[in-house]
Amino acid sequence: MSAVITGTGVAVPPNVVTNDDLARIMDTSDEWIRSRTGVVSRRFVDPGTATSDLAAEAALAALSDAGLHGGDVDAVVCATMTPDHQNPGIAGAVQHKAGLGTAAVFDLRQQCAGFLFGLDLADMLISTGRAATVVVVGAEVHAGYLPWGDAWEIVLGRSDRAPTAEERVRATRHRAWSVLFGDGAAAAVLQARAGRHGILGSVLRTDGAHADLIEVPGLGSRHRPYADAAQIAAGLHHPTMNGAGLYRMAVETMPAAVREALAAAGCGLDELDLVVAHQANDRILEGARRRLGVDAAAMPSNIAHWGNTTAATLPILYHELRRQGRVGPGSLVAFTSFGAGAHWGAVLYREPGTDEAA
């Protein structure tokens, strides 16, 4: 049996934050962010909305798109780097909130590559006959770990006050990574179908030696106690990022993984219709695209309006492309991503033909 995507859905939060909004609380500019990353605006949830809330909404939308109900789901795979709590993971909450019965759940921790690894897990469950219907969700609420404190009310346009000197210094100290991210969620329903379509193959790689390219150094078993005021005061709950190192590794690994997946499936680069690549920033996309050797139209970007939504970028983009009619019967699509860990890879996917879709 092959794993075929039969439905997709998104859940995006209401609060749009532009680069100019960020420039109100830190030393940055629309020009700097746009030219370095491609991001024009991103969205954030209101306080009180957790990752599992967005994830459950996206899962329900994807099920509705597939014409299914909660009771039809055998397994739920959730990828996030911003879970509701330290533990448990969000998959159980998503299952419960979306009414997915007692389906088996899996929580994945591959950050920006989480949805990619989730597609492969769904394929394994379906191709081995362990499940007939799997929901894979990528979801993030980054808002809680952005270092803006009370200045959030300025960012969201709910206060006209100027930031304090301390707020501006702190936001500026974290500007290199904080301007990249946005909240969002999306899901795909994968179902067992006979035929040579659906997921054709996957290449998944991890090199733990590069885990420090982007990591959150505090809050974990490395520390005793695992969370305390000293870690917060030292800012260890915020990520540290080697932006140049990430760029170099991402632009090499994603094209290599796509080529390897194509070769393993006996497909040529010229047969690829779309590359659905992680939306970390437009310069990475462009570097990866040139190394892979595909046209700009074949490797779309939507980072301008969402920012980097980590595990949610692939399914949000794929959902948009389906809605725009860019994924047609028989389309050959390569999903590819690179994430903190470091994890990367590619999943090759063939949309069923018109006579095979049922």
Ligand X SMILES: CC(C)(COP(=O)(O)OP(=O)(O)OC[C@H]1O[C@@H](n2cnc3c(N)ncnc32)[C@H](O)[C@@H]1OP(=O)(O)O)[C@@H](O)C(=O)NCCC(=O)NCCS
- 38-97 positions binding ligand X, by CB under 6 A: none
CB of 8 or CB of 19, closer to ligand X = 19
Q: Which residues, including other chains, have CB under 8 Å from residue 235's CB and lie 6 or more apart? A: 147, 174, 218
Distance CA 255, CA 245 (A): 17
Distance CA 344, CA 250 (A): 8
The reply to whether 343 belongs to the active site is no
The reply to whether 15 belongs to the active site is no
Is 243 a binding residue for ligand X by CB under 6 A? The answer is yes
Count residues binding ligand X (CB under 6 A): 23
- Is residue 197 within 8 A of residue 5, CB to CB? The reply is no
- 144-203 positions binding ligand X, by CB under 6 A: 175-176, 179-180
Per the residue annotation, which of 15, 19, 78, 112 is the catalytic one?
112
Distance CA 294, CA 318 (A): 18
The reply to whether 267 belongs to the active site is no
Min dist CB 346 to ligand X, Å, is 16
Is 346 a binding residue for ligand X by CB under 6 A? The answer is no
- 115-144 positions binding ligand X, by CB under 6 A: none
- Report the residue number whose CB is nearest to ligand X: 243
- 308-327 positions binding ligand X, by CB under 6 A: 308
Min dist CB 242 to ligand X, Å, is 8
Distance CA 36, CA 25 (A): 19
Among candidate residues 146, 141, 148, the one with its CA nearest the CA of residue 84: 141
For residue 135, give Cα distances in angstroms to 192, 259, 291.
Answer: 12, 27, 32
CB of 103 or CB of 185, closer to ligand X = 185
Among candidate residues 349, 335, 348, the one with its CA nearest the CA of residue 114: 335
- Burial of residue 71 (CB within 10 Å: 0-12, 13-18, 19+) is exposed
CB of 191 or CB of 253, closer to ligand X = 253
Per the residue annotation, which of 15, 210, 308, 343 is the catalytic one?
308
- Asked, as a colleague might, if the bond just before 225 is cis with ω within 30 of 0, I would say yes
- Is residue 262 within 8 A of residue 272, CB to CB? The reply is yes
Is 284 a binding residue for ligand X by CB under 6 A? The answer is yes
- 12-41 positions binding ligand X, by CB under 6 A: 28, 32-33, 36-37
Name residue, tokens 């009771």. 71
CB of 310 or CB of 331, closer to ligand X = 310
CB of 112 or CB of 135, closer to ligand X = 112
Q: Residue numbers of the site for ligand X (CB under 6 A)?
A: 28, 32-33, 36-37, 112, 175-176, 179-180, 214, 241, 243-244, 246-247, 280-281, 283-284, 308, 339-340
Residues recognised as catalytic: 112, 278, 308
